[in-house]
Copies of this chain bind each other. A is one copy, B any other.
Amino acid sequence: MNLEPSLRYSHTIMSQIIKSGDNVIDATVGKGNDTEFLSKLVKESGKVYGFDLQKDAINITKQRLAKSPLNNTKLFNVGHENIKEYVKDKINGAIFNLGYLPGGNKNIITRPKTTITAIQACLDLLEKNGIIILVLYYGHPGGKTEKNSVIAFVKSLEQKEYSVLEYKFINQVNEPPILIAIQKK
The chain A residues found within 8 Å of chain B, CB to CB, are 1-3, 13, 16-17, 129, 131, 151, 154-159, 162-173, 181, 183
Contact = CB atoms under 8 A, between A and B. Distances in A.
A171 B154 contact: yes
Copy number in this complex? 2
A3 B13 CA distance: 8
- Ranked nearest first, the 7 interchain pairs of A and B with the lowest CB-CB distance are A164-B171, A159-B172, A166-B170, A157-B171, A3-B183, A1-B16, A3-B165
Contacts of A172: 159, 163
B13 A181 contact: no
Contacts of A131: 3
A62 B143 CA distance: 52
A155 B129 contact: no
Main secondary structure of the interface of A (DSSP, over half): mixed
A162 B171 contact: yes
Nearest to A16: B1
Contacts of A171: 154-159, 162-164
Nearest to A181: B3
A131 B1 CA distance: 10
A146 B183 CA distance: 29
Nearest to A171: B164
Given A1-B17, A16-B1, A168 B165 contact: yes
Contacts of A17: 1
A162 B13 CA distance: 24
Contacts of A157: 171
Contacts of A156: 171
A92 to B, nearest CB: 12
